[in-house]
């Protein structure tokens, strides 16, 4: 006898009762881009609804996020001055450190994650100190200054550090630096499997971090490599990461599931700028039912195994969820 799967689909209430995957506002971390100044809120043309903001505007934005039930953010800094080693990222009065202090003072209940990298702070746009001979990032020299950056974030009051530069040994380095400075309870969310992807274009507009030469394929992962992708996350777990991540998300859901099954840590996905911009453009041109497709995408992330979704859609999703409960 064939099975009548449709029995549990015929009634709306029953469909809800048997639903296997759900999305909650608590699943989200919202990215914010902060720069110096006052009263600055500049929309990014390639990412409608996303802004570069001065810290006073970020503080206002945090208040709006909390009204929607979003209490977790990830900060990206845009300094006034960039140099070859990203000195602003190593300064206790730099844009990120000072912003953490201000945000935590105004919103002590906001969970502040900091992106730890150098691409926004260097004049060459790469994620660390350049090896001039090899024309790529010097891995071990960058590890040294990454530890310094992590301690600065910790002292400023960050609730979690998220290193995104894809340097070999970064988690072990940061864990040792933080533990040695007395921050053994500060968690690390590793960008453990991060691909050299074409989906990042709009982010580089908002973060002003486009490389001045070459690309990042010598340190970010080849999108074609499945086994290496799993190995990267397994290695970060062994080095002491608390949360793993796959970035981008949408084209890599197979790896979200495989890494989830191969490790024991919570899993984050970064729903990146290009993914966001595609849906925005399609929605603006009435090519898709925008809200339905956004929610379907979020469900796909959760179904693949994500516990945490970093997304520019977070505010919209919070509003959709609230509307669905009315």
Among candidate residues 12, 60, 66, 194, the one labeled active-site is 194
* Nearest Cα to Cα of residue 58 among 86, 98, 116: 98
What count of other Cβ atoms lies within 10 Å of the Cβ of residue 243? Answer: 20
DSSP string, 88-122: GGG-TTSHHHHHHHHHHHH-TTSEEEEEE-STTTB
Q: Is 315 a catalytic residue?
A: no
The token duo for 315 is: 């505010």
Instruction: Using alpha carbons, list the distances in angstroms from residue 31 to 3, 28, 115.
Output: 45, 10, 10
Q: Select which of 12, 60, 67, 247 is catalytic.
A: 247
Residue 247 a catalytic site member: yes
Question: How many C-beta atoms surround the C-beta of residue 317 within 10 A?
Answer: 23
Nearest Cα to 192, choosing from 251, 160, 239, 128?
Answer: 239
Contact status, residue 195 vs residue 250, Cβ threshold 8 Å:
no
C-alpha distances (whole Å) from 126 to each of 59, 162, 197 are: 29, 17, 15
The Cα 77–Cα 324 span in angstroms is 35
Check if the beta carbon of residue 297 is closer than 8 Å to that of residue 250.
Answer: yes
Backbone angles phi, psi at 274, to 5 degrees: -65, -35
Q: Is 52 exposed, middle or buried (0-12, 13-18, 19+ CB in 10 A)?
A: buried
Q: List helix spans (H) across 192-267.
A: 201-207, 226-239, 253-262
Catalytic site positions: 194, 247
């Amino acid at each position: 006898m064939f099975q009548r799967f449709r029995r549990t689909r015929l009634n709306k209430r029953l469909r809800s009762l048997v639903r296997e995957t759900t999305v909650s506002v608590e699943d989200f971390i919202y990215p914010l881009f902060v720069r110096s100044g006052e009263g600055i809120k500049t929309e990014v043309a390639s990412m409608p609804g996303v802004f570069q903001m001065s810290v006073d505007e970020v503080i206002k934005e945090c208040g709006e996020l909390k009204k929607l039930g979003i209490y977790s953010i990830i900060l990206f800094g845009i300094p006034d001055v960039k140099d070859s080693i990203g000195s602003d990222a190593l300064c206790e009065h730099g844009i990120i450190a000072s912003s953490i202090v201000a945000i935590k003072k105004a919103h002590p209940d906001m969970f502040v994650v900091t992106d730890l990298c150098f691409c926004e702070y260097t004049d060459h746009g790469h994620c660390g100190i350049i090896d001039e001979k090899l024309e790529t990032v010097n891995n071990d020299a960058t590890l040294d200054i990454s530890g310094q950056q992590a301690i600065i974030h910790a002292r400023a009051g960050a609730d979690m550090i998220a290193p995104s530069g894809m340097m070999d040994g970064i988690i072990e380095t940061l864990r040792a630096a933080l533990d040695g400075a007395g921050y053994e309870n500060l968690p690390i969310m590793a960008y453990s499997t991060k691909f050299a992807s074409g989906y990042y274009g709009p982010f580089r507009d908002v973060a002003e971090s486009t490389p001045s030469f070459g690309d990042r394929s010598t340190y970010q992962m080849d999108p074609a490599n499945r086994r290496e992708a799993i190995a990267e996350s397994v290695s970060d777990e062994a080095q002491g990461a608390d949360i793993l991540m796959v970035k981008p998300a949408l084209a890599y859901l197979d790896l979200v599931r495989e890494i989830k099954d191969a490790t024991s840590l919570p899993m984050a996905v970064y729903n990146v700028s290009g993914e966001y911009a595609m849906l925005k453009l399609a929605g603006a041109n009435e090519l898709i039912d925008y809200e339905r497709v956004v929610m379907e995408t979020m469900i796909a992330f959760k179904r693949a195994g994500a516990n945490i979704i970093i997304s520019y859609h977070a505010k919209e999703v919070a509003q959709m969820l609230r509307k669905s409960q009315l």
